[in-house]
Amino acid sequence: LNDLTNNILRISKIENQTYLDPPVSFRLDEQIREAIVILEAKWSRKNIELDIDLPEAEYFGQKSLLFQVWVNLISNAIKFSNDGGCVSIHLKKDGSSYKVFISDDGIGMTQETMKHIFEKFYQGDTSRQAQGNGLGLALCKEILNRCGGKIFVTSKPGKGSVFMVQL
């Protein structure tokens, strides 16, 4: 209930916020590393192998909001990976933008599920085996919309998923 309440408050605040904090310059690669470290208990408990490629990247944007995106996406990749699986986190410079790829080799999603994953309260795993409240990806999408970013997903059932964030 605490997680659900916090996520509802976060998404409501972001949706109703007309003013964002002034953007700041920060190291995007270091911010993503910090998210990985914060989630260490989750990936070590499942014996997840991490494939990390985060070259130095200076970014000017909404630091605190973007941190929530990385924590959510990496946490989901861990959650939907099998024990002993692999999560990849790669950062690439593409012209004037950055692309962050977060992929797992977990359960994957159907095309139908992918159509709805950014909707509030939607959960593709209807068995409730994976904990969640269906707000994390909706929150990521809203944050990225507010920050001028985009999020894309590709997936196949049983083959894992790849989320790509473009800033």
* Tokens standing for residue 27: 């190291």
Return mean pLDDT, the chain.
87
**According to the model, what pLDDT value does residue 13 have?**
62
Q: How confident is the model at residue 128 (pLDDT cuts 50, 70, 90)?
A: very low
Out of 27-31, 40-44, 119-123, 131-135, least confident range:
131-135
The region that residue 136 occupies, defined by phi over 0 for left and psi between -120 and 50 for alpha, beta otherwise, is alpha
Answer yes or no: is pLDDT of 17 > 90. Answer: no
Question: How far is residue 22's CA from residue 135's CA, in Å, rounded to a whole number?
Answer: 25
Q: What is the pLDDT of residues 129-155, one digit of tens each?
A: 455 566 789 889 989 998 899 999 999
**According to the model, what pLDDT value does residue 9 have?**
58
Q: How far is CA 57 from CA 41, 49, 68, 138, 147, in A?
A: 26, 23, 18, 26, 17
Q: Are 50 and 43 in contact, with CB atoms under 8 Å apart?
A: yes
User: Residues near 41 by Cβ (< 8 Å), separated by ≥ 6?
Assistant: none
Answer yes or no: is pLDDT of 165 > 80. Answer: yes
User: Residues near 90 by Cβ (< 8 Å), separated by ≥ 6?
Assistant: 51, 52, 53, 54, 100, 101
Answer yes or no: is pLDDT of 11 > 80. Answer: no
Q: Are 33 and 54 in contact, with CB atoms under 8 Å apart?
A: yes
The pTM is what? 0.85
